[in-house]
A and B are shown apart, each in its own frame.
Chain A
């Protein structure tokens, strides 16, 4: 049932495609997809573009239903989708954030060079594997009770730093300072908190990971230097995790609320997973307050993980993490909804920006980015697959003008988990990566095939589209040498 999307889409330029409102009755705005012609061929194979059309049904949506080049078939929203709704008539949709609220990426730099780490790499990877609980049944090392968890939901990474996990200066290098305002723990269910308690400080499974990477190309050395990325050969660590069961349950709880609310407010939608409520309604406000709490939980989670990663390096190398220069470069959320100020037709207004598998990418000079990055723009962390490379980019003015200050979040899947397993049947993924100089430790080695390079788009193509479109600028490319998977 594949459609000839190239016939339906209007090509705006080499990298921009428009899905006209006339495609489906009920679309309030057109869709816009960022992709090269070659990527469009892959995109056309699943239902991601149909989902771009469905998102355009959301009441109060402004501008376009946007899709980044890493878009793929999600549920409700496509993964890689961005939608802005206006504060007065607009809605908020939990499906526009996803189950893993504030799934995101943190990058920690080091003073280390590849050749210094290489002899100790197996020890470093093994230590991280031991110290950071991951995978199914991996429970956290920090015990938190029901009272304490409310503090986590409000204070996020700040809670973790106050408990001694990490450094005070980490906080300024996290989106929203690691504690987004407006969280209300009373809006998060007891069940969600119960699911979160044993999982705080755990990596999870699926596509979550820790990666030791080596900087292998600088596209803009001056900008990189501001981030503490000084030279090719330098070691950095990527951390990809989210809000664990607490976020999953929060989304699940509010999908139920929104399904009822959508009926109550007479909102008709082509997919139940898009269920939503007006931003001004009690359901909408409660969801935002709960989601913000879950997002803060995720910031705390990555803060704890980063702390153990630092200690793992310290233990193995026999030096203090401070002496290793293990500062946080930045920490971004890529599943989130936030109230932000943007210009619409020359007027500044408050919009609810849903980023479902998309990253905020604010330009230089924006007041919401840390002062140390004010001159270069907000760092954007874009992990690729475990066999190739990842990128660090920065946001631009053009992103503000076109995509509500948003860009891609990763490579984007191309093969389903089953298809990847079949395609790679009999291939020893860990051994194949080892031959490329990448050491992998996984709780579940059988599932490694599901995360192999073949399952993903080439992240270089994804970031190139956005670089060439002027949405986010490439700063550095890194390649993995050590991987920890759940």
Chain B
């Protein structure tokens, strides 16, 4: 089809999430059509990101500074820590702009099938922060999956001796959702975790 450079580019792009060989070919073609305006800036941005982005030693977020902008921001409340599975989850919560506390990225969830055990989770910095800082509340914002729930119950047991308030994000009806089209699992979760009006 093309030279080895093109084949290699397609092969590398097709390994990215959301891209298969066909979409990787389309992306490669789009890049090659305008190498100066698309390909070179992309290559430079990739190189810069690879050189400068690092994992925050406090929370596990990805940023070009360590500690990251969230941990380094004195206006963020140190007494609230929201525990999330991945950096993607942190970014999703940050987009809401509601949470003014700090985060802890676990880097995954407990999964016997995938061979992820407690020792693989980034929990040591959280324990350190519980010892050093005035943490009053830990918010567990983990997925409503088997792995997420297993991790939540395990973390709850681990954090209980510290005597801090441990909360969990609510589960149930999404915004704009109508009850009659909702699946039974979501409705059950919504009823189980109902709260006073």
Say if A and B assemble together. Answer: no
Residues on A lying within 8 angstroms of B by beta carbon are none
